[in-house]
Structures are given as structure tokens and as C-alpha cells.
Structure 1
């Protein structure tokens, strides 16, 4: 799908991958609503966009864990630009190591990393089916195809995000709804660099597994995949080979991950 002339919503757009996708969408002729809790970050992104394409983007402060906020962002996009054609469920959070997280932590990670995708799709997909066109891009992670050493909530919700994207494509793909699922490894974002976002073990696992890409490189990969209407977006090509190894011998893969975990923990 070509994005020129389309209306897009990008969550988690105050920095990182979301900000890079928003910039790239505008550069390619789309009109974009950015959403995030980070108003300062969004303001900086909007200022940069305004210098190149005045009026092409607006920012809406919103919590990706809130059903009401998601509905408000979509409604405000429709009021400003018209029906939403493209939705980027990009907001994501991590959590600490082990099983010590309480229900409140699990609920928040599930709400942001999974339910935020589901709630947006519930609002948008019926209209897309009626119009015969729409595009849903889910930001998951290589952790959703492999796993995340250290952070159980992150690993579990990213697997679930991949599963929901697959289901969405299978169920509505023949009715004009296009779906892509982004599964990068390390990207130079706050999720990776902020000590509070992922545990030390989880962050070390990511940076040890492959190159850390810049958000703009990931945005390029996303738009290229959308142009081809390709489901799986792998900015780190080696993830596909890792995934194949996992599927070919699950027990061997688990043993290998245990060994990797011990190395990361200095054992």
C-alpha cells in the first residue's frame, strides 16, 4: 500500500521508532496523528515535521493502556484529517526480571503491549472492512518470535502481539485489511537505553544478540514492507534464521537459551 494521501495514527510517537515512523510517513505524503504520554517529545517531533510539511501532523497526549484514550485519538484524527487508513500500534513498555512483578505490573504491560492493539483494531477494523481497505501495523519484537531473557511480561506480551497480528491478518486479510508485524532486535530507543525500561539482563541480551539499529533504519524497513504488503518485518535479518532454528528443534533451542542466560548472568 502506498501511504501518500493516507491518514495515520502512530502510538508511542514521542521518540524512538514511533517518532521515526511518523516522520517517514509525512515525508511520503501521509497526514499523521502522533500519540504518546511524552508531550515534550511529541512537541519536538511535530516541530521538525512542521518545518518540512506544515499542517501534516498533530500530537495528542494519550495513554496506550487506556481504551478511552485510544478511542479519543482515533476520533480526533477523524475530525482533523478524515477516516483513519493506517494504524501503528507502536507503544510498548518493559518490566523487570523474574516472577517478582505483581498483578499491577502485569496488567499495565498487557494493556500497553497487547490490549492497546486489540482495542484499536476493534474500533477500526469494521470500518476498514466496510471500505475495503485499511492497514494495521503492530510493533512486536524479536522477543515475540524468540523470547526475552529476563523480562517475563515483555516476552509474554510480545508473543501475544505477534499472535494477534497473525489472527487479524488471517481473519480479515481477504476483506482488504492489511497487517504487518514489526519484530526488531536492538534499536537505539528509550526502551533499550533507559535503565527503568528493561532489566540489565534483558538489555544485555538484546545488545549481545546483534547490531543496535537506529529508529530511522527501522522506519525505512516498515515503509518498505507496507509497500509490498508483507506481514513480517525483520530489520535484523538474522532473526529469521534464529526463528528457523527454534522451530526445527525446540529442545535444542531452549538449551541454547539457558546457556546464553548463564553467560549474561556471569555464571
Structure 2
């Protein structure tokens, strides 16, 4: 199912008020770790899947990427990305991630940030990405961690005083769709185990070079002590892989 909640005006308005929507990459807690997983971008042709407001696309050009293609299904997202971009070497296209059909070896680097947990067939997408990457090309992705997506409620288990006792994990091996609540809306996400993510990449012809389950930095914890609970369970899974 190709889902496009971001063209719902109420949902998009709520999304636009999120810190990462206003502050960009530096307001995204996982960005420092994701950035460290990216290869050298100078002179590279980059594909940004689920590009949103275009933050990663513009970053790639700041690092002297030769060209960038950003893909997103939401016209609201792309309208904002185009308004924030003044660079003829960044092209944005309205397209479902599942429907990409680029030529063989067209890109050197593929980036996807927090978009692929909305995609039902991760295995097929990995094959498409492998096809459009040049030999030794790099695919770097981040998704919501399977510990986070296993239960649709995506919430803590609370004690009688409202204290956060623990993060429940159940139905971990029952992969498939979850109707989660995000920004006061019902959203379909797809739960896959860590092993499924990694094996889909390996079976598509990738060599995994790094896996990360980032937690808040000490600087972030010092600025916002409420984030200490984010050290109790992973919220993101990030993988870097190279085309064999």
C-alpha cells in the first residue's frame, strides 16, 4: 500500500511543527551518527529516497556531490523542498519509493532517512536500489527500530503514578503492518526484524559495512534531561551497505 499522509493538510501542519521540520538535520537526534555512516560525497551522484523537505539532498550538495535526485510521494513535501532549494543540480520528483525505476548504475550513493518503515516490500526495494547503484556504490538507511515498531501502540508501560516502567516488546517475529498513532493520526507502518533488514540487503547483493542503534549524545542529554528515557531502548536502526 502506498501511503501519503503528508498531503493531508492537518497531518502536514502537525509535521511542519516538529523540531526536525523546523531546525533541519541538526535538530534530528540521529543525524550525527547517520552523517558518520555516509561515504565521501564529492563528485558523487546521489539518490535521496523519501526526501521530504530536502535536508539530506541539500547536505549532499554542500559536500560537493555532483548531482542529487530527491524522490517523495507527497506534493506538500516537494513544494517545501523546492522552496528551500536554490540549486539546479538538485532535482525533485513526485514518485512512490516503491515505484523507482532508474537505469542500472545511475547513482553512486542512495540515502533514505526514516521512510522505509512505510514500505511494505523492503526486499524488492533493496533489489531496485542495488540495480540503480554503480559497482561499490553505497546505500545508507535509517528506519524506526524493530523494538520500537513491534507493537502498534509504540508507547511505554506506565506505573500507577504515570512513571515509565518499561518499553513493551511483543509480537516481534510477527512481521507486517501496524496501525500506529503518529501526530494524532492513524498511520500504517511495517514491522520487520533486524535480521530481515540485514538479510534482505545481503540477499540483494549488498555487503553490510556498519550497523548503528544510536542513542542521544551526552550533549543532547545535558540540554534536555527528559531525553534520558531514550537511552533505555533503541528508537532507530541505521545500516550502511555497499554494492558487491
What TM-score do the two structures reach when normalised by structure 1? 0.45
Q: As a proportion of its length, which structure holds more helix?
A: 1
Q: TM-score scaled by structure 2?
A: 0.49
